[in-house]
């Protein structure tokens, strides 16, 4: 009997955690439950920006999933962001930003399957040279409200999936309903990425490696929404975790 593929799952951070109010990591259960249900074994590392430690975690794991959470430092993608716009950002953690930057670099060096969700998709774009919309409500006026934290487990709007995209093949649909709980989004897309889904107002909702870059990783899908929170009501989203875990198992078996 084959063992479950080991999936590295990143966590958010807290300045004051539950025990002794120390700097801590925090991860919503739906992420790890989705991995387990899809046949994977989640591994949640500490948020420590230590290159050798991160490289060893990536080496031992079969796939990497980068999750959602707080805003990314504006200085990483726009050093000259105006102060009024910068003030719209929520809390951010430079340690997590650096940790995930090193992690993404290591994933590409070791060529592991990668699934990035919400903030994770934004972080990937920034690491590869893209930029972000710092505040959707003020920079991109729209009839869609992308920040519906009150409906985090519900369908908020629909997105169109592009023909020929890996995500489209995985889900078998060209239009799906998604939740929406973000106030930032991709602005300028990194050259090595391509858009694979958009909302009706043009906000980028999914990405993957561009055709010329696809061979750099055995699997890569990025989504702006939170599929892990829709599995009970919209089970089609489970296929993302199933395909990612299967790709991670295939990588393990072929290495």
**Identified catalytic residue from 146, 157, 228, 237:** 228
Please give the Cα distance from 196 to 206 (Å, whole number): 5
β pairing state of 220-223 and 204-209: antiparallel
228 part of the active site: yes
**Identified catalytic residue from 118, 127, 146, 208:** 118
Beta strands in 44-199 (DSSP E): 63-66, 114-117, 132-133, 157-161, 175-178, 185-186, 193-199
Of 149, 125, 139, 144, residue with least CA distance to 77: 125
226 part of the active site: yes
Sign of CA dihedral 8, 12, 18, 24: positive
61 part of the active site: no
* DSSP line for 73-111: PGGGT-TT--HHHHTT-----HHHHHHHHHHHHHHHHHT
β pairing state of 175-178 and 24-26: unpaired
User: Catalytic site residues?
Assistant: 118, 226, 228
């Amino acid at each position: 009997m084959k063992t479950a593929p080991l999936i590295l799952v990143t966590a958010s951070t807290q300045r004051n955690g539950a025990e002794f109010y120390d700097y801590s990591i925090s991860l919503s259960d739906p992420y790890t439950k989705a991995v387990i249900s899809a046949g994977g074994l989640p591994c949640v590392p500490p948020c420590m920006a230590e290159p050798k430690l991160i490289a060893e975690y990536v080496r031992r794991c079969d796939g990497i999933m980068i999750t959602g959470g707080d805003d990314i430092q504006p200085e990483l993608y726009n050093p000259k962001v105006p102060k009024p716009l910068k003030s719209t950002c929520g809390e951010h953690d430079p340690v997590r930003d650096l940790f995930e930057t090193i992690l993404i670099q290591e994933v590409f060096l070791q060529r592991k399957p990668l699934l990035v969700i919400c903030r994770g998709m934004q972080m990937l774009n920034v690491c590869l040279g893209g930029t972000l919309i710092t505040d959707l409500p003020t920079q991109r006026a729209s009839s869609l409200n992308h920040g519906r934290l009150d409906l985090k487990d519900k369908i908020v709007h629909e997105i169109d999936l592009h023909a020929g995209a890996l995500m489209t093949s995985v889900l078998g649909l060209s239009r799906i309903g998604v939740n929406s709980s973000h106030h930032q989004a991709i602005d300028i897309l990194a050259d090595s990425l391509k858009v694979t889904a958009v909302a009706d107002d043009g906000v980028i909702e999914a990405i993957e490696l561009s055709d010329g870059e696809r061979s750099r990783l055995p699997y890569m899908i990025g989504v702006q929404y939170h599929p892990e929170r829709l599995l009970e009501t919209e089970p089609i989203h489970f296929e993302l975790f199933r395909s990612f875990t299967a790709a991670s198992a295939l990588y393990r078996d072929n290495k």
